[in-house]
């Protein structure tokens, strides 16, 4: 008995230590970004930095306005969610409730494979197939654009949304559906009016993961969006995201330019934290 209690205490201590390490890493990253990012914001000016429309970090008279990056990240993420969430949600409902076991197994394997593809491969395929396709279909000078980035991001977030949503839907007790069918509801009505509401917390968590993947992606969007610091006035405009702004210039940056890139990383970090906190708040309120 004492050995079992001792073992439980040891395991509890290990889990506590791992949890503290995770929290410590988050705090360390937060502190580092704040210390590294605040000096540039202080020197440039918060309003000028956040709402400036021009980014020219290597010019004779440099400008450090990141509003184009912020709007591009917002539009790109919103577009990817608008496309990816309905497709992922409907696919998850089909796999969980309608597909035969064989079809479900094959499609889930394909979804897992989609999740394992490196982002640079998505970017490469998008650059070689999607970008020329947009140029030909819409008759624009360059297919590397916000639209191409949205489509690539929408595809990239599908695995997270589908896998978590399927798991949430599979966890709904079968008795709920049997009771609905016994009351005269059709299978489709049962799936969307009983099963989906019962699994909404898991589906919402899948959307949160999709948002995080879309906001944090850098390599793929750098390859298909044009990586030009323009205001996102059109879907066919070559643009640059917050993530790509940091990754494309960090290797040769110095001085105020390097500090400004850390400031962009800080803005991106706070942006992601704000979205996650907002979504988690609404999820907790729904549970209550």
Question: How does pLDDT run along the chain (288 residues), one tens digit per residue?
Answer: 567 778 888 888 899 999 999 999 989 988 998 898 899 999 999 999 999 999 988 888 889 999 999 999 999 999 999 999 999 999 999 999 888 889 989 998 999 888 888 989 999 999 999 999 999 999 998 889 999 999 999 999 999 899 999 999 998 888 888 898 888 888 889 989 999 988 888 888 888 888 888 888 888 999 999 888 899 999 999 999 999 999 888 888 888 899 999 999 999 888 888 877 877 777 666 655
Q: Are residues 142 and 238 in contact, defined by beta-carbon separation less than 8 angstroms?
A: yes
Q: Are residues 116 and 158 in contact, defined by beta-carbon separation less than 8 angstroms?
A: no
Distance, CA of 170 to CA of 14 (rounded, Å):
31
Chain mean position to CA 75: 13
Distance, CA of 133 to CA of 141 (rounded, Å):
12
Of 84, 85, 90, 132, the C-alpha closest to 107 is: 90
pTM of the entire structure? 0.89
């Amino acid at each position: 008995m004492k050995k079992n209690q001792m073992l439980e205490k040891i395991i509890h201590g290990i889990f506590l230590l791992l949890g503290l390490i995770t929290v410590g890493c988050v705090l360390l990253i937060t502190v580092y970004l704040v210390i590294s990012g605040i000096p540039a914001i202080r020197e440039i000016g918060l309003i000028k930095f956040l709402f400036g429309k021009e980014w020219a970090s290597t010019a004779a008279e440099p400008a450090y306005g990141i509003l184009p990056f912020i709007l591009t990240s917002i539009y790109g993420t919103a577009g990817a969610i608008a496309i990816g969430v309905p497709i992922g949600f409907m696919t998850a409902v089909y796999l969980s409730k309608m597909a035969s076991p064989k079809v479900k197994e094959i499609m889930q394997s394909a979804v897992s494979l989609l999740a394992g593809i490196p982002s640079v491969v998505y970017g490469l395929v998008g650059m070689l197939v999607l970008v020329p396709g947009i140029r030909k279909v819409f008759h624009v000078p360059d297919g590397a654009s916000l639209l191409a980035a949205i489509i690539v991001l929408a595809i990239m977030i599908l695995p997270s949304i589908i896998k978590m949503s399927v798991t949430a839907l599979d966890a709904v007790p079968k008795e709920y559906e049997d009771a609905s069918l016994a009351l005269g509801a059709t299978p489709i009505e049962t799936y969307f009016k009983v099963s989906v509401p019962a699994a909404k917390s898991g589906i919402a968590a899948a959307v949160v993961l999709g948002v995080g993947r879309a906001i944090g992606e850098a390599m793929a969007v750098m390859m298909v969006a044009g990586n030009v610091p323009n205001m996102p006035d059109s879907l066919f405009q070559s643009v640059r995201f917050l993530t790509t702004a940091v990754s494309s210039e960090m290797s040769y940056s110095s001085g105020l330019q390097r500090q400004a890139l850390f400031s962009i990383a800080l803005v991106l970090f706070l942006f992601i934290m704000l979205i996650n906190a907002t979504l988690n708040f609404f999820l907790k309120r729904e549970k209550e």
